[in-house]
Structure 1
Amino acid sequence: MPLILTAILLGIVEGLTEFLPVSSTGHLILASELLGYRAEQWATFNVVIQLGAILAVIVLYWRTFWAVALGLFGRDGTSWRFALNLLIAFAPSVVLGLLFIDAIEGLLGNAIVVAIALVLGGIAILVIEALARGSTLPPGIASLPYGRALGVGLIQCLAMVPGVSRSGATIMGALAMGVERRTAAEFSFFLAVPTMLGATTLSLIKHGDDLAAANVDWGLIGIGFVVSFIVALVVIKWFVGLVSRRGFAPFAWYRIVAGSIALVWLLAR
């Protein structure tokens, strides 16, 4: 397969799956198995193109980011609660990421772990959908109690296992704690910005020497970045509207079916 086509396909996969509860990292790992390329050669590519999807959040919600920034300087209480909730939720991933980065990276090459996590995550979504009591809090990220924000941050750490899904863990964890659907989805989007920026920075710092020595094709990375950005723009707008009206069961069943097929294929080949 031509390298440009591979870059485009991986960019589409990243943009489609970063904010859906289906695991973008898991899909990129399975794509490496399906397309038959060496995942380690595309490791830098996969890390950097995630920033394209993150940029989509900043572009779509720039008014919110701008209003919060102005509110912080103006000592607006709502803006400070918004920012503090993001920082509180972000903190657990910082601590655990620094402590266990080697173990986490060790799992990134295990496609069987991804397949199993997809299936178990799909089952978990169906269970939470059935048992969640509905919203018990007013809408809005600034309205979340700090304890709930910390709970979402702790649950997000489950996504350090590839295939779990960062967005799926945070959204379903928030729903289980009584957060309204749209707020849960948007909190996941906003939390992705510091989380993914931190993860990317840590990875680039750790592997900086390898990057300097490697023949990295920044043209291909640029293509993947742009593609993931454009696709994520569409996905985020569609996803927020969908979860505001319907449940997450379709994503759960997709995870179960895709994970089962992947597991059978991986074990049988």
Structure 2
Amino acid sequence: MTDLLAALLLGIIEGITEFLPISSTGHLLIAQHWLGHRSDLFNISIQAGAILAVVLIYRQRLWQLATGFLPRNRAALARDVETYGMDLAAQRVVRQQNNFDYLLKLGVAFGVTAVLGIVVKKLGFELPDKVLPIAWALVLGGIWMLVAEHYAAKRALALGERSSITWTVAILVGVAQVIAGVFPGTSRSGATIFVALLAGTTNRAAATEFAFLVGIPTMFAATAYELLDVIGTPAAANEDWTALAVAFAASAVTAFVAVKWLLHYIQSHRFTAFAYYRFALGAALLLLMPSGS
């Protein structure tokens, strides 16, 4: 198999698995046992390709957040009242306040991830190169998903439909991103979505949107960090940039399709099927792979 074909397959695997709660990092590390080991820069950069797909899918929401949070001066408010009437003008002010609040919470979640992520990096943490811990993480993550799904459903019945993101949700989502990065097989999307559901955002679409949007600055920052770390070093000279570009593009395209499908799926389904997939894959790895692999 040529190196470009291997990179293409890795990009497709990343794009499919990044936002499904089945662990993209775990799948990549497993696939690299057969397709060849890749650098941390490669693995993080193709995750950024998948994040680019989310930027495209949520482009209208991102534009709304970027342009709809600035406070309006008295002259602008007066024009709004004259143009839209008092009620609609008041609604515009409320939307601006909500956008600003949402952006602050995205910033807090990202800040928590960034600080804890730097601490983990400084401590010298490295991703495992063996399948066994990933297999166990897949199985244990599946159990966590079933338990979390059960309690999230009970919370939804008790609290009703809640789409708001609280400060507690924002902080816990930031922590969940780091935990998912430390333990491959956990799944960043699964950890953050279920943390949001359990912490009080009972609306699945709202919890998923926040989890996906906070991943945008997180993964782009992680890619920039790795780039700055390798530029001008022998690692940069040894990196196959053509293969990385192929994998990046493949990841972006397949992630776009996968996210579109997932957003439609969660409107009428729970995440239970993904837990069973994790059990099946984890069990297969535990049974088929030598314990030292």
TM-score, normalised by the number of residues in structure 1: 0.90
Tell me, yes or no, if structure 1 residue 106 matches structure 2 residue 129. Answer: no
Tell me, yes or no, if structure 1 residue 46 matches structure 2 residue 68. Answer: no
Which residue number in structure 1 is paired with residue 206 of structure 2? Answer: 183
Residue identity (%): 40
Segments of structure 1 that go 5 or more residues without pairing to the other structure are none
Q: Which runs of 4+ in 1 moved over 4 A?
A: 102-105, 137-140
When residues 213 and 127 of structure 1 are mapped into structure 2, their CA distance, relative to the original with a 3 A threshold, is: closer
The answer (yes or no) to whether the contact 1:152–1:170 under 8 Å persists in 2 is: yes
The answer (yes or no) to whether the contact 1:137–1:144 under 8 Å persists in 2 is: no
Tell me, yes or no, if structure 1 residue 202 matches structure 2 residue 225. Answer: yes
Give CA deviations for 1:178-230 in whole Å, capped at 9, x if unaligned.
32111111111101101111222222223334456523222211111111111
Give the one of 121, 125, 129 matched to 2:141.
Answer: 121
Distance 1:202 1:84 in 2: 23
Three-state SS of the structure 1 residue aligned to 2:121 is helix
When residues 116 and 225 of structure 1 are mapped into structure 2, their CA distance, relative to the original with a 3 A threshold, is: same
1:60 is matched by which residue type in structure 2? Answer: I
When residues 173 and 193 of structure 1 are mapped into structure 2, their CA distance, relative to the original with a 3 A threshold, is: same
The answer (yes or no) to whether the contact 1:115–1:260 under 8 Å persists in 2 is: yes
Higher deviation after alignment, 191-200 or 96-105: 96-105
Which residue number in structure 1 is paired with residue 239 of structure 2? Answer: 216
Tell me, yes or no, if structure 1 residue 83 matches structure 2 residue 106. Answer: no
Which residue number in structure 1 is paired with residue 196 of structure 2? Answer: 174
Which residue number in structure 1 is paired with residue 86 of structure 2? Answer: none
Distance 2:236 2:188 in 1: 31
The answer (yes or no) to whether the contact 1:14–1:49 under 8 Å persists in 2 is: yes
Three-state SS of the structure 1 residue aligned to 2:290 is helix
Higher deviation after alignment, 172-181 or 130-139: 130-139
How far residue 116 of structure 1 moved from its aligned partner, in angstroms, is 1.1
Which residue number in structure 2 is paired with residue 25 of structure 1? Answer: 25
How far residue 233 of structure 1 moved from its aligned partner, in angstroms, is 0.7
How far residue 110 of structure 1 moved from its aligned partner, in angstroms, is 3.5
Higher deviation after alignment, 41-50 or 233-242: 41-50
Three-state SS of the structure 2 residue aligned to 1:247 is coil
The answer (yes or no) to whether the contact 1:26–1:162 under 8 Å persists in 2 is: yes
How far residue 156 of structure 1 moved from its aligned partner, in angstroms, is 2.5
How many residue pairs match? The answer is 264
1:88 is matched by which residue type in structure 2? Answer: V
Distance 1:139 1:208 in 2: 45
How far residue 105 of structure 1 moved from its aligned partner, in angstroms, is 4.2
The answer (yes or no) to whether the contact 1:137–1:178 under 8 Å persists in 2 is: no
How far residue 266 of structure 1 moved from its aligned partner, in angstroms, is 2.9
Give CA deviations for 1:229-259 in whole Å, capped at 9, x if unaligned.
1101111111011112110111001111111
